[in-house]
Chain A
Amino acid sequence: MRPFVIGLLMGLFAVLAMAVVMKWRQRNLPMSATEKAEYLGKRRARMLPLLAVIFLSQQATFFSTLNSQSPHSAYGPKIAAWLALSIVLLFALSTKGFWFERKEVRDLLDDENTRANRSEGMRWGFLFAMAAAIGVYALTLFDTTVTARDAVHIVMTIGIAAALIRWGMLERRAHRDA
């Protein structure tokens, strides 16, 4: 099997394992839909900046070995893992998230204030992605070689991380004193 596919499958497996662990941790919590939404909402507010840090640190490892003599076999899984995580995070940003919860809880977790915070996060993500694109373009003017794949990688990473951080900050502020 190609290393790229192995990395992709490992990334998806990691996401699935996280979802199973989260469900298992909630097994003994008898909660109404409102209480559960409150509990999960607070956890989401704590997790979003943490996810951004994990996502960025994963890319730091990737970029630090980008121009080294690392074998091609190590490059594939890293790209695949990044792609899997990026897709999952993009889905989480653009949908209600909490895909394994019942509809009632999911609707509450995507109430008016959350939608507004998420939109603001997406706005920041877009602006940071554009700033990163301008930065990469400027870099190429100074004889620095940036491949199309690396450029896409940089723009996506910065855009997604900025959206996650901004959304997380707004959610934390909204939960303060609640």
Chain B
Amino acid sequence: MPRLLLFIPLALFSILILFLWKGLSIDPRELPSALIDKPFPAFKVEALLSPERKLTTADIVGKPVLINVWATWCPSCRQEHEQLLRIAQENKIAIIGLNYKDDRTAATKWLTQLGNPYQFNIYDESGMLGLDLGVYGAPETYLLDAQGIIRHRHVGVVTEQTWQELQAIIKSWEKL
């Protein structure tokens, strides 16, 4: 019997390999979300800064917007924050925050301290909206057109380069 015990590490490793192999076929960066070219999932969630205000899908349609998934526990969000502030300053598109599985006090403090690039923030405390949206982790950014259809998904930090790409997509709509 003890001889069989020696196979335990091998067995555990085999299970791990199965998962890793599965993981390879799921590419977290590309993530052509199942929702691409589909409407943003319907929701009714509190706003971050004014809890009494209930936000719904109606608040995000009408013009193209960027939905930025962020949280105070996410260091990469901090990294992209300055870029978001710059995008907000350029005033070409509205950024709406999706505060994901976060603490309201901490998130509010974050916005006061670092500046607030968001028009408003959806306070997704339970992460249910994030789940509907297929959020892999923060930060993620979605580009929605005026009809509220998800047109592009970016996983990871928004950089100047990302912003150029996003602008190119928006420009291509204007040509149509």
A complexed with B: no
Residue ranges of B at the interface with A (Cβ–Cβ < 8 Å): none
Which residues of A approach B to under 8 Å, CB–CB?
none
